[in-house]
A and B are shown apart, each in its own frame.
Chain A
Amino acid sequence: MAEFFTQHAHDLLWPRLAALWDALELGYLLAALVHVGLLVNVVAVGALAFIWLERKVAGRIQDRLGPTRVGGRFGWLQTLADGLKLIAKEDLMPAAADPLLFRVACYVSFCASLGGYLALPFADDWVALRLNVAAFFMIAVLGLEVFGVILAGYASGSKWSLFGAMREGAQVVSYEVPLGLCVLAPVMIAGTMDLGTIGQMQRGWGANWFVLHDPFTFVIFWVYFACATASVNRAPFDLAEAESELVGGFHTEYSGLRWSIFFMAEYGSMFAVSGLAAVLFFGGWNGPIPWTDWLGLSTATCGALHYLGNLVGMTNFVIKCVVGVTVMMWIRWTLPRLRIDQVMTVCLKYCTPLAAAALSGAALWLVALPGGLVIRSATPLGGFREGAFATPAEIDAGLAAAERASSLSENRLGEEDSPILLRRLCKIGTVPDVSRTGSSSSRVPGR
Chain B
Amino acid sequence: MESIHWHSVFFVLFAALACGCAVAVALSRHIVRMAFYLVLSLSATGALFFLAGADFVGASQLLIYVGATLVLLVFGVMLTAEGRFVTLRTRGGDWIVGLLAGGALLVILLQATLGVERWQTARAAEHPAVSPPTAARLGLGLLGARVDRLARPAEAPEGEAESAGMVGYLLPFEIVSVHLLVVLIGAAYLARPKRRADAAANPEAGP
Interface positions of A (Cβ within 8 A of B)? 19, 22-25, 28-29, 96, 98, 100-101, 104, 108, 131-133, 136-137, 139-141, 143-144, 146-147, 150-151, 154-155, 157, 162, 166, 169, 173, 176, 192-193, 386-391, 394, 397-402, 404-405, 408-409, 412-413, 418, 422, 425-426
Contacts and interface: CB of A to CB of B under 8 A. Distances in A.
9 contacts: A131-B59, A147-B67, A151-B74, A162-B78, A391-B136, A397-B145, A397-B150, A402-B144, A422-B144
B56 A133 contact: yes
B84 A96 contact: yes
B106 interface: no
Contact of A405 (B4, B131, B134, B146): B146
Interface string B100-125: 00000000000000000000000000
B32 A408 contact: no
Given A25-B4, A169-B74, A422-B143, 20 more contacts: A23-B2, A98-B33, A101-B33, A104-B36, A136-B56, A137-B59, A140-B60, A140-B67, A147-B66, A147-B70, A157-B84, A386-B131, A387-B132, A390-B134, A394-B140, A398-B147, A402-B143, A409-B163, A422-B145, A425-B143
Interface string B37-78: 001000000000000000110111011001110110011001
Contacts of B30: 98
B137 interface: yes
A162 B78 CA distance: 9
Contacts of A140: 59-60, 62-63, 67
B22 interface: no
B174 to A, nearest CB: 14
Contacts of A391: 134, 136
A404 B136 CA distance: 19
A441 B78 CA distance: 60
Secondary structure type dominating chain B contacts:
helix
Contacts of A151: 32, 36, 74
Contact of A409 (B39, B134, B166): B166
Interface of B: 1-6, 30, 32-33, 36, 39, 55-56, 58-60, 62-63, 66-68, 70-71, 74-75, 78, 84-85, 131-137, 139-140, 143-147, 149-150, 153, 162-163, 166-168
A128 to B, nearest CB: 13
A418 to B, nearest CB: 7
Contacts of B163: 405, 408-409, 412
Secondary structure type dominating chain A contacts:
helix
A143 B63 contact: yes
A408 B33 contact: no
A154 B33 CA distance: 11
A147 B3 CA distance: 39
A193 B84 CA distance: 43
- Most chain B CB inside 10 Å of its own CB: which residue of A22, A133, A388: A133
Contacts of A132: 55-56, 132, 134-135
- Most chain B CB inside 10 Å of its own CB: which residue of A162, A176, A386, A402: A402
B39 A147 contact: yes
A139 B3 contact: no
Contacts of A404: 153, 166
B59 A136 contact: yes
A176 B66 CA distance: 14
A150 B71 CA distance: 8
A343 B55 CA distance: 33
A133 B2 contact: no
B131 to A, nearest CB: 5
A345 B96 CA distance: 50
A154 B77 CA distance: 10
B69 to A, nearest CB: 11
B6 to A, nearest CB: 6
Given A23-B1, A389-B134, A398-B147, A28 B6 contact: yes
Nearest to A140: B63
Contact of B147 (A19, A100, A157, A401): A401
- Most chain B CB inside 10 Å of its own CB: which residue of A132, A162, A386: A132
B166 A154 contact: no
A133 B59 contact: yes
A399 B149 CA distance: 12
A398 B168 CA distance: 11
B3 A25 contact: yes
Contacts of B149: 401
Nearest to A158: B84
Contacts of A25: 3-6
Contacts of A100: 33, 36
Nearest to A25: B3
A412 B145 contact: no
A155 B55 CA distance: 33
Given A23-B1, A394-B147, A408-B163, A131 B55 contact: yes
A100 to B, nearest CB: 6
A59 B145 CA distance: 59
Nearest to A399: B145
Contacts of B39: 108, 147
B55 A409 contact: no
